[in-house]
């Protein structure tokens, strides 16, 4: 429980109101305004909720000024370097790193839940072939509540646990099927002999006609992408999941809501926007022109994948992702891919330019993850579905935490109303 020994006094029209101040284990103090409207008859105004804490949480902490991202207290660079995605999933779900026996049991549970109900194949075939994979995922994940009735009772801790495992296990299968459907290839079933990341790659790129072997460097890079995108505190999609959950919606509907929010170009579409920018640049010789445009305040062009709204110094995920990007590009080469050649040249030019260092516009996780996914052969339309797959454990962990909070209630933001005041209806002949 946060420390509430401090208070702040708010004065409105000569009347004083004492407001509790909560001190967290990390981060700034939080002013508790829950009783402000009842006591003073006023709301606070905070568009975008950039200065408002909507909940308390023990899962993820970000300090943008320091470039710090912690999951349950563990720095993201340590987790990405020393751990792997399913171990991070366990950490986020249960609060502690697992023992060897706990991890083995958890991995077996996830592995044995990767198949989806066979009837769901028909659901995919209801979409047009040119449907965006994110559109397909929103529909299919939301429809899971029609297939898995034994894990929709949010008041039952056992059903919440089953739903959590199912969503983590089945999301790679659903994302891979959305991709296969979009390119007109047959679905590839999951394999229990492959790890989580390798299984996803296999389902995306294998075909029945021949053997497909997943390169361990590619699998490791994909696992890091999953790990580095697992959670990011109370961002737009996580807040959407929590808001949907506050109404008592089933877990599959809540996660589908998160996927829909993540689809936005200002959120999950950042790495796709980065690749589209690289294609616009075209080739390395054009980079000086675009860097000059990025420095020109009167030019609308912006370097996508550089800097971050939250991290005012550097993105702590980018260092690890750069390592994976270098490994993948060394393995696959960039000679025959102008997009990747341009990316490498742009990275070098921006890092060497004092302007970008001064403005702290360093390559972020979206820049490097976009490069890796492009090198692997994924179309840009799959970048956001892979992000959604990765973020599912964060959404589920936040969802479980919220439901376990005895103080949680349905979300109901207030507004600053600026419309017309009450007026009488006028008959149409008098208008």
Supply the residues annotated as catalytic. Answer: 308, 366
String of b and e for 6-18 (b: at least 16 CB within 10 Å)?
Answer: eeeeeeeeeeebe
Which phi-psi region, left, alpha or beta, contains residue 37 (left: φ > 0; alpha: ψ -120 to 50)? alpha
Residue 257's H or E segment, with its range, is helix 251-262
Between β-strands 30-31 and 60-63, what pairing exists: parallel, antiparallel or unpaired?
A: unpaired
CA distance 68 to 35: 33
Q: Which long-range contacts (CB under 8 A, 24 or more apart) does 36-39 make?
A: 36/10, 37/414
CA distance 200 to 183: 16
Closest CA to 56 of 201, 233, 192: 233
CA distance 60 to 49: 18
Residue bearing tokens 């072939």: 129
Count CB neighbours of 166 within 10 A. 23
- What 3-state DSSP class applies to 25? coil
Which residues contact residue 204 at a Cβ distance below 8 angstroms, ignoring those fewer than 6 apart? 176, 179, 180, 188, 378, 382
Phi, psi of 234 (to 5 degrees): -90, 60
Residue bearing tokens 């008859």: 41
Closest CA to 85 of 240, 236, 222: 222
- What 3-state DSSP class applies to 60? strand
Q: Where are the alpha helices (H) located in 263-313, listed in sequence order? A: 270-281, 287-295
- Strands across the sheet with 30-31, in order? 3-12, 15-23, 30-31
């Amino acid at each position: 429980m946060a420390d509430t020994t401090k208070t702040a006094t708010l004065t409105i029209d000569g009347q004083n109101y004492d407001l509790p101040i909560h001190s967290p284990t990390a981060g700034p103090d939080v002013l508790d305004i829950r009783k402000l409207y009842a006591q003073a008859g006023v709301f606070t105004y905070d568009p975008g909720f950039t200065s408002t804490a909507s909940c308390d949480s023990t899962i993820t902490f970000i300090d943008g000024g320091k470039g710090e991202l912690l999951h349950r207290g563990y720095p993201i660079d340590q987790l990405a370097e020393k751990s792997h995605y399913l171990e991070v999933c366990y950490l986020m779900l249960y609060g502690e790193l697992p023992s060897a026996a706990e991890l083995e049991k958890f991995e077996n549970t996830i592995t044995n839940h990767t198949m989806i109900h066979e009837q769901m194949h028909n659901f995919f075939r209801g979409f047009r072939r040119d449907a965006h994979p994110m559109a397909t995922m929103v529909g299919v994940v939301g429809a899971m509540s029609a297939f898995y009735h034994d894990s929709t009772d949010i008041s039952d801790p056992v059903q919440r646990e089953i739903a959590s495992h199912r969503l983590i296990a089945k999301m790679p299968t659903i994302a891979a099927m959305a991709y296969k459907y979009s390119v007109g290839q047959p679905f590839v079933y999951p394999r229990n002999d492959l790890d989580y990341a390798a299984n996803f790659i296999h389902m995306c790129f294998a075909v029945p006609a021949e053997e497909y072997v997943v390169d361990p460097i590619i699998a490791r890079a994909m696992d890091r992408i999953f790990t580095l995108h697992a959670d990011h505190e109370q961002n737009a999609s996580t807040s959407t999941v929590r808001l949907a959950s506050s109404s008592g919606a089933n877990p599959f509907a809540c996660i589908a809501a998160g996927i829909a929010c993540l689809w936005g170009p200002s959120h999950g579409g950042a790495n796709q926007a980065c690749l589209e920018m690289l294609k616009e640049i075209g080739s390395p010789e054009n980079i000086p022109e675009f860097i000059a445009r990025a420095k020109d305040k009167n030019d609308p062009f912006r370097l996508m994948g550089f800097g971050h709204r939250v991290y005012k110094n550097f993105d702590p995920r980018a260092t690890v992702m750069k390592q994976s990007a270098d490994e993948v590009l060394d393995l696959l080469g960039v000679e025959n891919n102008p997009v990747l050649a341009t990316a490498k040249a742009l990275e070098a030019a921006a890092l060497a330019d004092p302007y970008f260092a001064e403005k702290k516009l360093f390559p972020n996780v979206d820049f490097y993850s976009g490069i890796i996914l492009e090198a692997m052969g994924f179309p840009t339309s799959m970048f956001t579905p892979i992000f959604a797959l990765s973020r599912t454990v964060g959404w589920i962990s936040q969802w479980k935490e919220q439901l376990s909070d005895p103080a949680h209630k349905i979300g109901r933001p207030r507004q600053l109303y600026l419309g017309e005041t009450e007026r009488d209806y006028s008959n149409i002949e008098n208008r």
